Amino acid sequence: MSDTTMASPELTTADGVPLKKALVRSEARAKRRAFLLVAPLFLFVLITFVVPIGQMLFQSVYNDSFSATAPALDKWFSEHPQGAPIDESAYAALASDLKTMKENRTQGQAGTRINYDVAGTRSLFTSTARKIDRLEPPWKEAILGVNEGWNDPNLWRAMRSATHPYTIDFYLAALDMTRDKNDNIVGVNPDRAIYGKLFWRTAVLSFIITVLCMILAFPIAHLLASLPLAKSNLLMIFVLLPFWTSLLVRTTSWMVLLQQQGVLNDLLVWLGIVNNDGRLEMMYNKTGTIIAMTHILLPFMVLPLYSVMRTIPPSYVRAARSLGATSWTAFRRIYLPQTLPGIGAGALLVFILSVGYYITPALVGGADGQLISNMIAFHMQKSLNWSLAAALASLLLAGVLILYWLYDRLVGIDNMKLG
pLDDT digits (tens, 9 = 90+) for 145-195: 999 999 999 999 999 999 999 999 999 999 999 888 888 889 888 888 899
Whole-number pLDDT of residue 290: 92
Nearest one of 67, 63, 57, 55 to 167, comparing CA atoms? 63
Average pLDDT over residues 304-315: 89
Average pLDDT over residues 367-373: 84
Q: Provide the terminal-to-terminal Cα distance of the chain, rounded to the nearest Å.
A: 70
Give the span between the Cα atoms of 154 and 320, in whole angstroms: 72
Q: How confident is the model at residue 9 (pLDDT cuts 50, 70, 90)?
A: low
- Please tell me the least confidently modeled range out of 25-34, 67-76, 91-100, 164-173: 25-34
Whole-number pLDDT of residue 359: 84
Give the span between the Cα atoms of 163 and 32, in whole angstroms: 49
Whole-number pLDDT of residue 259: 87
Give Rg (Cα) of the chain: 32
Cβ within 8 Å of residue 282, ≥6 positions away = 258, 259, 260, 264, 265, 288, 291
Residue 138 phi/psi, 5° resolution? -70, 130
Burial of 169 (0-12, 13-18, 19+ CB in 10 A): buried
Contact 100, 115 (CB under 8 A): no
Whole-number pLDDT of residue 7: 52
Contact 198, 379 (CB under 8 A): no
How many C-beta neighbours within 10 Å does residue 290 have?
20
Task: Decide if pLDDT at 16 tops 80.
Answer: no
Domain ranges of the chain: 14-59, 71-191, 195-415
Task: Decide if pLDDT at 1 tops 50.
Answer: no
- Please tell me the least confidently modeled range out of 128-132, 138-142, 329-333: 329-333
- Please tell me the least confidently modeled range out of 5-14, 83-92, 146-155: 5-14
In the chain, % of residues over pLDDT 90: 46
Nearest one of 155, 167, 165, 145 to 117, comparing CA atoms? 155
Whole-number pLDDT of residue 414: 65
Task: Decide if pLDDT at 400 tops 70.
Answer: yes
Cβ within 8 Å of residue 67, ≥6 positions away = 74, 162, 163, 164, 165
In the chain, % of residues over pLDDT 70: 95
Residue length, the chain?
419
Give the span between the Cα atoms of 396 and 373, in whole angstroms: 9
Q: How confident is the model at residue 321 (pLDDT cuts 50, 70, 90)?
A: confident
Choose between 131 and 369: higher pLDDT: 131
Q: How confident is the model at residue 2 (pLDDT cuts 50, 70, 90)?
A: very low
Whole-number pLDDT of residue 134: 92
Task: Decide if pLDDT at 288 tops 50.
Answer: yes
Instruction: Find residue 177's DSSP bridge partners.
Output: 187
205-243 confidence digits (pLDDT tens): 999 999 999 999 999 999 999 888 888 888 888 888 887
- The SS3 of residue 232 is helix
Contact 280, 258 (CB under 8 A): no
Summary mean pLDDT of the chain? 88
38-82 confidence digits (pLDDT tens): 899 889 988 988 999 999 999 999 999 999 999 999 999 999 998
Burial 131-163 (b: 16+ CB within 10 A, else e): ebeebeeebbebbeebeebbebebbbbbbbbbb
Does domain 195-415 match CATH 1.20.210.10?
no
Whole-number pLDDT of residue 383: 86
- The SS3 of residue 417 is coil
Contact 107, 134 (CB under 8 A): no
